[in-house]
Amino acid sequence: MADEFHAIKGSQTRTTGHYRRPGTRMTMCGRPLGARNDAFANVPGWNVCTKCQQAKTMTGETVSSGEIVRVITTGPKPTEPEVAEYQRTDPTGEPTHPAGQQAAVEGMLDRARLAPRRQSSTFERIADELNARGVPVSTPAGRLTAQMYALFEEFEQERRAEIIAAGGTAEDADDDGWGDVLSRAALVNLARDHRSAMRPEANAQQYDALVEEIADTFTLSDVRIMRGAWTAITEAMPRIAYVARMNGKSPDEIAQATGYTSSRIAQFIRQEKQRAAAPGTLHRYTWRIDVQGADGEWTDREAGEDESTPADLAQLAERLLDETGAREQRARIVMWEGDEGDDADAVHRAERPAQWAAFLTVEQHDGKEWRELSDESIPDATEEPAALARRVLDNARETLPGDTVRVRVWRFGESEGAHLAEAVTTDADRIPDDQGEEGNG
């Protein structure tokens, strides 16, 4: 007997086959069962769900041990057996592959006229569940369990009838809410699987399998719901961050918990404080921060919006530039009142020069050789190397008038290599012999 495959309930794609968990409306991978899709088995791109295959293999281990369920009728109702008896067969003659084992069991049940037709009966669903749990129904505990399952089944049937009688569809009646792809548990699993697939050690097959599973699980309506929810959460983030801060969480803790950067969390908190401080006096400003690359071109780095009074706009711009990072690049901020527009329509602009770590030395020539007088490290220098060297040299000339002095500048940590700039002043414009053409008056 060929395997029966089903799609996920509500899925937009039909090229992934799933096995049905016996006696339930769920797949073996734990998701809501949809219509059969065996007809797509020969279509290019067809594949069988890996989790279903693993679950079916585990189920097949019980069959391979030779433990097969046979139902014997002992009560007055021939269609509702009351005793399920376990009988052990000789395992040496049974197939070892899970698909062959399933076929053998289904063939035996069919020959005994015990195979389910369109839907499993109440007792067959109970027997499947008890068999999976290893509970014998011949014991008092087993009989009690069977009775409980029968009551649950009766409740489901009555509930289904009530929903349909109230104007609901059969699909509404079958939807018990289990396996909801938008539930918290399902979204947590999705986020965890995505993190695993994006790790450096993960292979391309793992990522491709995840993408295929997402496409097979989520409908277009699901995507719209999730996008709407994310928009609502994003708009509420200033309040969420502010409340967490008032409850004692630090910006770093909030950032770690939410996945934002610490600077962005600080911005959210500041934005919420401004909004609540003086309603009616604040204006909404959108802004964009650009950084300049080595080629001189400006590229976008960050964008957002804040509320501020016009008088505090310059202070807000400086704070945003300071929080954006990228110290070694020249940065600028462009701000608009309301929504972002053309750069020419901006109400405020500000720039921050590139910062770099500098190391410099001040040396004096005694007529024979250079002798170092002092050195200095500047972790946040903003001047160009040549301008920095000339400025320090001018300061040195005030304390050493008439002496031959030079200043050399390196990038911090690279003083063993060639210097970036040098400035020299000499007595009577005389340059020492070892200075050559490098000197600058």
Cβ–Cβ < 8 Å for 274, 282: yes
Beta bridge partners of 283: 308
Give per-residue pLDDT as tens, 202-234: 888 888 888 888 888 888 888 888 888 888 888
CA–CA dist 275, 265 (Å, integer): 15
State how beta strands 356-365 and 405-411 pair: antiparallel
H-helix or E-strand containing 36?
strand 33-36
Q: What is the mean pLDDT of the chain?
A: 75
- Give the burial string for 392-423 (b: 16+ CB within 10 Å, else e): bbeebeeeeeeebbbbbbbeeeebeeebbbbb
pLDDT the model gives residue 70: 36
- Per-residue pLDDT tens for 60-115? 533 333 333 333 344 454 455 555 554 555 666 565 655 556 656 655 665 555 55
pTM for the predicted model, two decimal places: 0.31
The answer, yes or no, to whether residue 289 has pLDDT greater than 50, is yes
What are the distances in angstroms from CA 140 to CA 137, 146, 147, 153, 284? 8, 10, 11, 20, 72
What pLDDT is attached to residue 18?
84
CATH number for domain 356-438, candidates 1.10.150, 2.30.30, 3.90.1070, 3.30.70:
3.30.70
* Each residue's pLDDT tens digit, 399-423: 887 788 999 999 888 888 899 999 9
Segments making up each domain of the chain, as ranges: 6-174, 283-352, 356-438
Measured between alpha carbons, how far is 281 from 263 in angstroms, rounded to an integer?
25
